């Protein structure tokens, strides 16, 4: 088979990229191959779907803020129900951590993002289940847990249904003539000379070479441009050609709770129109919770960094012990309503972690574009990244993000990378 553009991976970044390349030139043949049986089944649909526009770096702010605007366009103008709920993001902070993060939050304000602050008394009124002051209790002190003294809230933040979002991109791509082959695994990239001489062993070091497509489980597919957008699996096909994908895979887990004891917490008022628990980050342990409006449950995640190995897993599994003998003990100090509450469901996926600057990479080589290393933020930056991949393919200096903002594409590359260190990491 032959195509103009071959996209490896039908996750959110692959389908976003494919859609914008096809939309630019509907006569262009754009083909997506995916080893699984449907869109987003690798890690995209396993995401908790949180999005935020509060970041320390200008780059991440632009990527996320424009993508959030696109989410609203998808749901409100194009009538896709992507489960968009503007729940807000709430950081619960001790005074010392607040002072450390004050600079980044002020930078967000200067960019135009709304940032609200609440003191501990206001938080206790708004979230009666939250313990802000441990008093004389010894256990939190022994555990090194810090009290909640302030809350910082981003209203233009919230949650989408990641599975529905991916399917919306799939639908838009297919509407304009895109082609997707599921159950088709790209096993090897084709490395060919630009001007073949027909000599066995080509390409030689003295020949100009390029990526000319991929060998797949359904046969060879030749392409003018091959886009590798397969997340944590990117290294499997990029390592053999010596292309550094600048990420390593690490497991992340989600635990879902549905219990009458959590009713008041789930139905937290005053933060959003849904009267639901915002995406909430607890101090010290970095435990994250959110109200899942569609099913009336609370989802919980917690990133264990040092101590959690980097490892590629095709089918990662949640670990009950990670919740019951680890997260739980810190969680109930801040939210006693979780006492003796067990998860109703749990699952695991993987992040493609860029440990250097926690910011995605879009890098081109001859006949090749790689997009990845999103470090768990692929959902919330997907629209911007798809537009940037399209601009790279067109050899444009700037991409136009949704809403008209310009973005210098080389800022996410390697040779001319211009990315600030991201410090507002959840």
**Alpha carbons 347 and 254: distance in angstroms, whole number:** 6
Asked if domains 2-64+163-247+356-412 and 89-154+249-353 share a fold, the reply is no
pLDDT band at 63 (very low <50, low <70, confident <90, very high): very high
Three-state SS at 66: helix
- pLDDT score for 284: 82
User: Beta strand 398-400 with 345-353: parallel, antiparallel or unpaired?
Assistant: unpaired
Three-state SS at 253: strand
Please compute the mean of the pLDDT values over residues 65-82 and round it to a whole number: 98
Q: Are 6 and 31 in contact (CB under 8 A)?
A: yes
**Alpha carbons 58 and 154: distance in angstroms, whole number:** 16
- pLDDT score for 81: 98
Q: Are 209 and 196 in contact (CB under 8 A)?
A: no
User: Beta strand 279-281 with 287-292: parallel, antiparallel or unpaired?
Assistant: antiparallel
- Domain 2-64+163-247+356-412 fold: FAD/NAD(P)-binding domain (3.50.50)
The pLDDT mean for the chain works out to 97
3-class secondary structure per residue, 127-192:
CCCCCCCCCCCHHHHHHCCCCCCEEEEECCCEECCHHHHHHHHHHHHHHCCCEEECCCCEEEEEEE
User: Is the pLDDT at 285 greater than 90, yes or no?
Assistant: no
User: Is the pLDDT at 425 greater than 90, yes or no?
Assistant: no
Measured in whole angstroms, the distance separating CA 237 from the mean position of its chain's CA atoms is: 21
Looking at domain 89-154+249-353, its CATH architecture is: 2-Layer Sandwich (3.30)
Buried b or exposed e, range 204-220, using 16+ CB within 10 angstroms: eeeeebbbbbbebeeee
pLDDT tens for residues 355-393?
Answer: 999 999 999 999 999 999 999 999 999 999 999 999 999
Kindly write down the DSSP assignment for every residue of 263-301, as one continuous string.
HHHHT--SSSTT----EEE-TTT-EEEEEETTTTEEEEE
Q: How many residues does the chain have?
A: 426
pLDDT band at 423 (very low <50, low <70, confident <90, very high): confident
- The H or E element that residue 103 is part of is helix 95-111
Three-state SS at 325: helix
- pLDDT score for 70: 98
Q: Are 301 and 254 in contact (CB under 8 A)?
A: yes
User: Is the pLDDT at 12 greater than 90, yes or no?
Assistant: yes
pLDDT band at 273 (very low <50, low <70, confident <90, very high): very high
User: Is the pLDDT at 323 greater than 90, yes or no?
Assistant: yes
User: Is the pLDDT at 421 greater than 90, yes or no?
Assistant: no
- pLDDT score for 329: 97
- pLDDT score for 366: 98
- pLDDT score for 2: 98
Q: By percentage, how much of the chain surpasses pLDDT 90?
A: 97
Q: Which residue from 242, 207, 228 is spatially nearest to 32, judged by alpha carbons?
A: 228
pTM for this model (two decimals): 0.96
What are the structural domain ranges in the chain? 2-64+163-247+356-412, 89-154+249-353
Q: What is the 8-class DSSP label of residue 111?
A: H
pLDDT band at 232 (very low <50, low <70, confident <90, very high): very high
* Angle of the 12-24 helix axis to the 382-393 helix axis, nearest 10: 50
User: Is the pLDDT at 426 greater than 90, yes or no?
Assistant: no
User: Is the pLDDT at 286 greater than 90, yes or no?
Assistant: no
Q: Which long-range contacts (CB under 8 A, 24 or more apart) does 385-388 make?
A: 385/13, 385/16, 385/17, 385/63, 385/360, 386/13, 386/15, 386/16, 386/17, 386/18, 386/19, 386/20, 386/169, 387/16, 387/20, 388/362, 388/412
**Alpha carbons 61 and 108: distance in angstroms, whole number:** 8
- The H or E element that residue 41 is part of is none
Maximum Cα–Cα distance across the chain: 80
Q: Are 90 and 279 in contact (CB under 8 A)?
A: yes
pLDDT band at 183 (very low <50, low <70, confident <90, very high): very high
């Amino acid at each position: 088979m032959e195509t103009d553009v071959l996209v490896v991976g039908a996750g959110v970044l692959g389908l976003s990229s494919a859609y914008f390349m096809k939309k630019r030139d509907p006569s262009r043949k754009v083909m997506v191959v995916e080893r699984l049986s449907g869109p987003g089944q690798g890690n995209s649909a396993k995401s908790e779907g949180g999005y935020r526009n509060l970041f320390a770096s200008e780059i991440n702010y632009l990527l996320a803020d424009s993508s959030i605007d696109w989410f609203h366009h998808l749901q409100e103008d194009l009538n896709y129900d992507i489960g968009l709920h503007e729940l807000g993001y709430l950081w619960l902070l001790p005074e010392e951590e607040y002072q450390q993060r004050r600079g980044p939050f002020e930078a967000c304000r200067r960019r135009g993002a709304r940032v609200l602050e609440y003191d501990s008394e206001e938080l206790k009124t708004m979230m009666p289940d939250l313990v802000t002051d441990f008093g004389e209790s010894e256990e939190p002190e022994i555990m090194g847990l810090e009290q909640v003294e302030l809350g910082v809230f981003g209203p233009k933040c919230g949650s989408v249904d990641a599975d529905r979002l991916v399917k919306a991109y799939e639908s838009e791509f297919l509407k304009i003539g895109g082609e997707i082959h599921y159950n088709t695994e790209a096993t090897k990239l084709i490395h060919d000379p630009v001007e073949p001489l027909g000599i066995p062993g080509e390409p030689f070091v003295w020949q100009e070479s390029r990526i000319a497509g991929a060998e797949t489980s359904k046969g060879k597919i030749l392409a003018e441009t091959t886009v590798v957008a397969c997340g944590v699996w990117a290294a499997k096909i990029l390592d053999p050609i010596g292309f550094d994908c600048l990420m390593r895979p690490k497991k992340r887990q989600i635990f879902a709770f549905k219990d009458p004891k959590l009713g008041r917490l789930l139905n937290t008022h005053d933060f959003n129109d849904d009267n639901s628990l915002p995406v909430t980050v607890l101090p010290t342990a970095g435990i994250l919770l959110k109200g899942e409006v569609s099913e009336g449950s609370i989802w919980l995640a917690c990133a264990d960094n040092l101590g959690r190995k980097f490892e590629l897993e095709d089918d990662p599994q949640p670990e009950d012990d990670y919740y019951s003998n680890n997260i739980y003990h810190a969680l109930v100090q801040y939210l006693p309503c979780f006492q003796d509450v067990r998860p109703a469901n749990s699952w695991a996926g993987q992040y493609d972690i860029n440990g250097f600057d926690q910011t995605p990479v879009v890098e081109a080589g001859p006949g090749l574009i790689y997009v990845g290393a999103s470090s768990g933020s692929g959902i919330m930056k997907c629209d911007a990244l798809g537009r940037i991949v399209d601009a790279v393919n067109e050899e444009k200096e700037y991409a136009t993000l949704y809403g008209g903002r310009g973005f210098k594409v080389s800022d996410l590359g390697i040779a001319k990378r211009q990315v600030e260190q991201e410090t507002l990491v959840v």
